[in-house]
Amino acid sequence: MLRRRPISRGSSSVAQRLLAGPAAALALTLGAACAPAAAPEPLAPGPQAQPAARTEGELVLYSARKEDLMQPVIDLFQEKTGVKVTVKSGAPGELALLIEQEKSSPRGDVYFTTDVATAESLRLKALLEPYKSPSAATIPDEFKATDGAWTGVIGRARTIMYNTRLLTPEQAPKSVFELTDARWKDKVAVASIREGGVRLWLASLILQKGEDFAVKYVNDLKNNGVKVLANHTEVRKAVGRGEVPVGLTNHYYYVFEKKDGSPVDQVYPDQGPNDVGTLVTPLVVAIMKGAQHPQAARAFVDFVLTPEGVQPMTTQEAEFPLVPGASLGDAGVPGVKPIDQIKRPSVDVTALAAAQQRAVELFTPVLGGP
């Protein structure tokens, strides 16, 4: 578990080893979570929600998912409800900052983000309206805020992608912890810590294995010649071209590279009976505190959690629904597993926000990238 001690340059020998200026700069963009205010009881859904949404007539969506990827869902929702949706797109941290700046007079109604840590930070600042959608009843508790302030919609798995011309399935690594072995020297690529998926992965290592283990592991990766590239797109292309045989990515980057015709496959790592499991992080939806169109906001949350509402998102990039037993969308690429076939670590997703802050401070000097 992450040690709960004050974070400063002089307070930790680990921080003295790794902390540097760039870490502080990136940490500021993430924002420190503050103590939670007393939350109201979650809003109860009712059969009147959709008619009331039609009466309100409009909805403002702040989306950290690319607009072209959200548009099919928005089109379906507008068709079914008659509610006009206005979208403001941006990076997760950028939109979270905007929500905080607008808290006295919110302009947005719903926040859809690819980074659960930013949603949790907003929850702790009492900037989200708790709402437990009936559509979320079967989603695992690990992908929902306990008070209903945010709910996971689809998931991303942290996988190992490999080039099939350079490695057979038997030769491919089965654990992320193998990658410090001499066998993989100069053969592994990872994206820089500027990528949210990398930060959450490192945060999960801190929570699962402890800070000292995580520091040693990252240093061992670096000493073993890991190639730190600018982003996940560069990682998947490097693996696809055969510049390195192995890359750590989110699973949908494998989907992109496979669709491009590259000779690649992926491994869901650490799936053995004594292994920690593969990290799965949710893309989440939340209602903003003081939303001007609360009924339309609830109707939108309900809709994106239904099979009909989630289907376009699972088809586009093979991100998977978080409801166990739900079918995967057809992204035209084999090798993507549904949620109930992935062994996952016992990590409290809400704890990742605090641990992510610590990961930024510790690992930016090592994984800052080009």
pTM of the model: 0.81
Give the SS3 label for residue 33: coil
CATH code of 156-279+353-367, in short, is: 3.40.190.10
pLDDT tens track for 336-347: 898 889 999 988
Domain ranges of the chain: 49-155+282-336, 156-279+353-367
Q: Phi, psi (5° rounding) for residue 246? A: -135, 140
Burial of 334 (0-12, 13-18, 19+ CB in 10 A): exposed
Model confidence at 58, pLDDT cuts 50, 70, 90, reads: very high
Range from 16-25, 84-93, 125-134 carrying the lowest mean pLDDT: 16-25
Question: Of 366, 9, 31, nearest to 205 (Cα)?
Answer: 366
Model confidence at 52, pLDDT cuts 50, 70, 90, reads: low
Q: Do domains 49-155+282-336 and 156-279+353-367 have the same CATH topology?
A: yes
Residue 4's pLDDT is 33
Range from 17-21, 173-177, 326-330, 365-369 carrying the lowest mean pLDDT: 17-21
**Token representation of residue 338:** 């549904």
Class in CATH terms, 49-155+282-336 = alpha beta
pLDDT tens track for 13-45: 333 333 333 333 334 334 433 444 444 444 444
CB 183 within 8 A of CB 245: no
pLDDT tens track for 192-221: 999 989 999 999 999 999 999 999 999 999
Residue 312's pLDDT is 86
With b for 16 or more beta-carbon neighbours within 10 A and e for fewer, the 51-73 pattern comes to ebbeebeebbbbbbbeeebbeeb
CB 159 within 8 A of CB 201: no
Share of the chain above pLDDT 90, in %: 69
